[in-house]
Structure 1
C-alpha cells in the first residue's frame, strides 16, 4: 500500500513539474484567450516576462517528451504527453522504471496554476502571478543555455527569506516550455533534478477557449494559523463535494494539508506514523490532533524544508 502511494506521489510530482505549477487559478483578466496573448511578440527581455511566457506555454502547446528525475532516492525515466482538444488539456505522465504507473489529469486551457486572492474568477492573470513570485524570490536571468538539444534561458529563484527552497528553471527559447528544473536547499545542496531529454516539436494551440467562473467549494472547518509570507489559499476541487484539504501556494512552492477523522480520542492511534517524512523532494509532516473527543490525523505535503512544513501543520486550528 505504501509503495503504491509513494510511486503515485512521485509520478504526480512529475505532472507538477511539466505544467510548472499544480493547481487551477481563476483571476480576472480582460483577455479571454490566454493562448492568443503575445502570440507574435518578440523574445522576453526581463525575468518577469519569461515567467509569464513559461506559464502561458505550459497551457498552449501540445507535445510529447521523455524526461528523467534524479533525487537522493533514485533515478526515474518518464514519458510525458500534453494534448489539447476543444480547449481541454490532457496531461499524462507514465513512469518507465519499476511498477507501471500512469497519472492523468484534465483541465481547461486557461485555468492556470496560482491565485492571489483565493476567490473565483473568469480568466487568468499571467502578470499577477509573475509579480507575486518576484516579491518573495530574487529572480536572475542567464542566457545562452542548452538543454535536450534546444537553446534555452535559465531563471534562478533565490528565496528572500533564505529558508524555503531555491528553484532553477531552464526554459525553451522558442516556446517558453520548461526543459529542466533543479530544486536546492538553503545550503545549496541539490534535492531533485527534473530534465527533459527529448522533446518532440511542440505545436501551439489556436482553437477556442472557454473558462467558466468556478464556484468556490465549501471550506474545511479548520485552517493553518501560520504560513510563510506570500503563501495564499488556493481553490481545491473535491470529488465528493466534501472539504478534506486546504491548499496554499507562494507562486512556486505548494502546500497541501489534509485532516482525516481517526475515531474516538480513547481509541489507539491509526493511519500514518506521526513525525516528519521525506519522499523525494516532498516533505510530509504528520500530527495527531484531538478536538471534542474526536481524534484527527493532520497531514501536510509540500516542497518546503521539513521544519517549516511541520510548523505549518502544528499551527492548524479547528473552528
Structure 2
C-alpha cells in the first residue's frame, strides 16, 4: 500500500484502517499548521534535551515533547488491538528542521506510512495575549484540566529505565491513557489506551530503541501554511477539544481537526460523486469512524469522523455538522 493512499480518508476500508492506526501509534503529540507563522518552541535540540533530569509530572511532559521533536532514531515495536497483533519498524529523522516519521508494517500486506511535519509545531490551546497558544506549558495545563495525571518513577520497558504517567479523564467522554517515557531520552516507549470500563483497547510498545541521537541543528516552527475555510462547522464537541489549524488538501476535500491534548478527532467532508462508504459506526483498531450523509441544495455530501473517542461521542460530533 502506498503512502498516498493514506491521504484518501474516503478510500477503501483497508487503506483507512492502516492509515488511522499507524498514524496514531507513532505520533501522540499533535502537530498543527496555520496560515500564519506558528509560535512554538524553538532552539537547538542539543540544548533542549540536555536539561536537568525531570522531577515532576510537568517536567516529564515537557521533556517528552522536546524528545519527540528532537531525537532521530530507529525502533521496533508491537501494536495489539482489535485488529490483532502487528510488528512495526519505526523511523524518525529530522532534515533541515523537518521531521520525517515512517511506520512500516512487518506482518501481512506491505504497508509503509510516512508523515512529514515541521519540528517544533504543537497543537494550539487557549492562551493569553502575551503567550503562545502552542507552547509546551499551554499543552500541559490544558491536558491537566481534563485529566488527572499521576507519575510513577520506577518502570522498565524494552530493557530501558522508564517513568510511567497515567492520564485518568474527568468524564466518560474520553479514554484513559498510560505512557511509559524513557528516562534517558524522554521518548515515548509504551502507550496503553483503556475505555471508561478499564478495558484495554490498545497497547503500543517499542521492543527495541536503536541509536537515539539529538538532532544537530535548530528547530523553529516559523513556517507559513495555507488554511482552508470549509463551508461547514461542527456545532458540538466534548469539553476541551480545540479547533486546530490544518493544511489544505487536494481533490475538494475539506477537513477540520480537533484535540484535547491527548485525543484527536478529524472530520472530513467530500461531495459524493460515484462511490461512497457505508454509513454508520465502524471500529478501526483504537479509532472509531462515523460516516453520515447530508444533502445541501443539489449536492450530496459524505461526512467522515475519525478519532480516539467512544463511538457515541464521535457520532454525535459528526451529526452536529452544519453547512453555512
**Common fold: TM-score over 0.5:** yes
Which piece of structure 1 moves more, 40-49 or 2-11?
Answer: 2-11
Q: Given the alignment, which residue of 307, 310, 315 partners 2:312?
A: 307
For residue 124 of structure 1, report the CA deviation from its aligned partner: 4.7
For residue 38 of structure 1, report the CA deviation from its aligned partner: 4.3
For residue 242 of structure 1, report the CA deviation from its aligned partner: 5.5
SS in structure 2 opposite 1:91? strand
- The answer to whether the Cα contact below 8 Å between 2:124 and 2:244 also exists between their aligned partners in 1 is yes
1:115 correspondence with 2:124? yes
Equivalent-residue separation in structure 1 for 2:126 and 2:150 (angstroms)? 26
Equivalent-residue separation in structure 1 for 2:137 and 2:92 (angstroms)? 24
Equivalent-residue separation in structure 1 for 2:143 and 2:30 (angstroms)? 15
Aligned to 2:192: 182
Q: Given the alignment, which residue of 262, 279, 284 partners 1:252?
A: 262
Aligned to 2:7: none
Aligned to 2:58: 48
Write the mapping of 1:203-214 to structure 2, written as runs, cut at 5 A: 203-214=213-224
1:172 correspondence with 2:182? yes
For residue 110 of structure 1, report the CA deviation from its aligned partner: 1.1
TM-score, structure 1 length as denominator?
0.89
Greater length-normalized contact order (CA 8 Å, ≥ 6 residues apart) = 2
- The answer to whether the Cα contact below 8 Å between 1:218 and 1:243 also exists between their aligned partners in 2 is no
Which piece of structure 1 moves more, 269-278 or 227-236?
Answer: 269-278
Aligned to 1:278: 283
Equivalent-residue separation in structure 2 for 1:310 and 1:243 (angstroms)? 20
CA offsets, 1:142-185, max 9 Å, x none?
A: 11000000000000101111331000000001111000000000
Q: Given the alignment, which residue of 91, 100, 106 partners 1:90?
A: 100
1:230 correspondence with 2:240? yes
Equivalent-residue separation in structure 1 for 2:27 and 2:302 (angstroms)? 30
Aligned to 1:19: 27
Which segments of structure 1 move beyond 4 Å, counting only runs of 4 or more? 121-124
Aligned to 1:148: 158
5+ residue gaps in structure 1?
Answer: 264-268
- The answer to whether the Cα contact below 8 Å between 2:42 and 2:218 also exists between their aligned partners in 1 is no
Equivalent-residue separation in structure 2 for 1:25 and 1:44 (angstroms)? 29
- The answer to whether the Cα contact below 8 Å between 1:300 and 1:309 also exists between their aligned partners in 2 is yes
How many correspondences in the alignment? 307
- The answer to whether the Cα contact below 8 Å between 2:288 and 2:307 also exists between their aligned partners in 1 is yes
- The answer to whether the Cα contact below 8 Å between 1:171 and 1:177 also exists between their aligned partners in 2 is yes
- The answer to whether the Cα contact below 8 Å between 2:73 and 2:91 also exists between their aligned partners in 1 is yes
Aligned to 1:9: 20
SS in structure 2 opposite 1:176? coil
Cα gap change, 1:109 to 1:76, in 2 (>3 Å): same
Cα gap change, 1:101 to 1:49, in 2 (>3 Å): same
Which piece of structure 1 moves more, 31-40 or 126-135?
Answer: 31-40
For residue 237 of structure 1, report the CA deviation from its aligned partner: 1.0
CA offsets, 1:104-140, max 9 Å, x none?
A: 122222123x11159xx99951111111111111101
For residue 101 of structure 1, report the CA deviation from its aligned partner: 0.5
Equivalent-residue separation in structure 2 for 1:204 and 1:51 (angstroms)? 18
- The answer to whether the Cα contact below 8 Å between 2:33 and 2:246 also exists between their aligned partners in 1 is no
5+ residue gaps in structure 2?
Answer: 1-11
CA offsets, 1:39-94, max 9 Å, x none?
A: 43222122121111111100100110000000122100000011112222111110
Equivalent-residue separation in structure 2 for 1:234 and 1:301 (angstroms)? 15
For residue 213 of structure 1, report the CA deviation from its aligned partner: 4.1
For residue 7 of structure 1, report the CA deviation from its aligned partner: 2.4
- The answer to whether the Cα contact below 8 Å between 2:49 and 2:70 also exists between their aligned partners in 1 is no
